[in-house]
Amino acid sequence: GPIPIPHRRKPSRYRRGTPPRTQTQAPRSLRISSSASEVTPLKPGRSAQQNSSSIQERHTKSNDKPRESMAASSLMTSMVLPSREVPSRAASAITAVPATSRVAPSVRCSAAAARRRHVALRRPGTTLGPPRTSSAVALAGAGAEATVAPPPMPGLPTTGLKDLSCCVEAQQFNREMLEELFIIADAMEGVKPGSDESKMLAGYLMSTLFYEPSTRTRLSFEGAMGKLGGGILSTESAGEYSSAAKGETLEDTIRTVEGYSDIIVLRHFSAGAARRAANAVPDSPIINAGDGPGQHPTQALLDTYTIYKELGRLDNIKVGLVGDLANGRTVRSLATMLTAFDNVSFFFVAPDVVKMGDDIKAELDAQGVHWEESTDLLSVAAEVDVLYQTRIQKERFGDRLDDYAAAKGKYIIDTAVMDALPLKSIVMHPLPRLDEITTDVDADPRAAYFRQARNGLFIRMALLKVLLKV
């Protein structure tokens, strides 16, 4: 048979004991010319001066290269030697991005500049919508892992927000003011502890006077002030644990607290209480955190902001308002605020004893806004972009317990309603809820009510910045 030929190992091109280089490790004989941004091999056996002359000579010749060739050379360099600024986990995905395309760090800019940037990056077919990805991620392609830089923090407002001295009614805000406030709220989402933005309200004090129970509104206001470096003076159950229990009037309480703080957040059980407080101290900012069955403008702000973030638009939407529409200050304020946008339609679904008030219907008619009432929750759910559920508020019925029993549990959002709801629609609720939304709906991605509550922090941070003129 044939004589077997012993197999010879292919000689390694590495010296014994020298580990092979990784793909991203540059050879020792390569250096980066700081002036030419290209790879220049250093010839062994030559002095540093000779090598320097060679580099200069190559740089002189490279001026004759076409621009595309130099750009390709620079791109190749960044691929071989990734920048230290890029995290190692994301280096392979982002190293092909030229240095000039990296996202700039968060800086303060004028509100007008932020507004121009915001408008220029709107999504197609929408009236409002900030960029959701950074330029680095967009250039690196889908699937790239990178930290998206927050939008820059705007300076002082340029729209009607600059003249806003208090926040007591939803009617105070027009479209331009809302759009600018939402730009500021977007920036507030990127505020990090210890940053310059987190100290913008240092030295300011906010008083929270809540004559009614609250969880989300009170904590989000206090959290907003704390995240921006301000101080908080708070009284829980002010009607019971303040001088109001001794008979002190609201006006006297507000005039007293004004001397201790720079801004006052008030929740009261009487409709119109926030306007009375604002009239008592015209030189101090007052924020209405809910006045009985009257208004809740900051809830309307965060609700409108949530719709804008979830749907990407505020024009051409259909909104279904469900539940206690007579006593629900949230839906009353939201209906008023959404009239600032184009082609908005409302569907009111409520028991007879808590139908939407005639004053809101008259306001919608005056603005030329379409609305209709229905008793069929499933048919409304199949049409709307936003299904806004509310709790039947037992505390508003007083001794009318029969009316409360007739209204409670009549309209419930469950899996059957979610099956009728379009896939791109959302369900909202100001919370707290009882049984008007079943818990098995929570896992549905269209259930936006907990994201809605979180947005309250950012919109209230933005409102504090605007009212305190910082």
Q: Kindly list the catalytic residues.
A: 216-217, 246, 267, 296
Contacts with 381 (C-beta within 8 Å, 6 or more apart), sequence order:
320, 387, 413, 417, 418, 420, 421
Residue 117 host element (H or E): helix 111-120
Helices 449-467 and 297-311: crossing angle in degrees, nearest 10, is 120
Helices 297-311 and 175-188: crossing angle in degrees, nearest 10, is 80
Give the integer Cα–Cα distance in Å for 302 and 170. 12
The token pair that represents 323 in the structure block? 């539940």
Contact in structure between 112 and 158 (CB atoms under 8 Å): yes
Helices 449-467 and 175-188: crossing angle in degrees, nearest 10, is 100
Closest CA to 274 of 262, 264, 261: 264
Residue 337 host element (H or E): helix 329-337
The token pair that represents 266 in the structure block? 């008030």
Give the integer Cα–Cα distance in Å for 463 and 467. 6
Instruction: Quote the DSSP letter at residue 66.
Output: -
Strand partners, 347: 320, 372
Report how many helices (DSSP H) and strands (DSSP E) the chain contains, helices first. 17, 13
Helices 358-366 and 329-337: crossing angle in degrees, nearest 10, is 10
Q: Position of tokens 């051409």?
A: 316
The runs of H, that is alpha helices, within 408-469 are: 415-420, 449-467
Residue 427 host element (H or E): strand 426-428
Strand partners, 235: 209
Give the integer Cα–Cα distance in Å for 2 and 378. 86
Closest CA to 323 of 422, 408, 425, 399: 408
Residue 317 host element (H or E): strand 317-322
The runs of H, that is alpha helices, within 36-66 are: 48-62
Instruction: Quote the DSSP letter at residue 259.
Output: T
Contact in structure between 160 and 176 (CB atoms under 8 Å): yes
Half-sphere exposure of 449 (CA within 13 A, CB side): 22
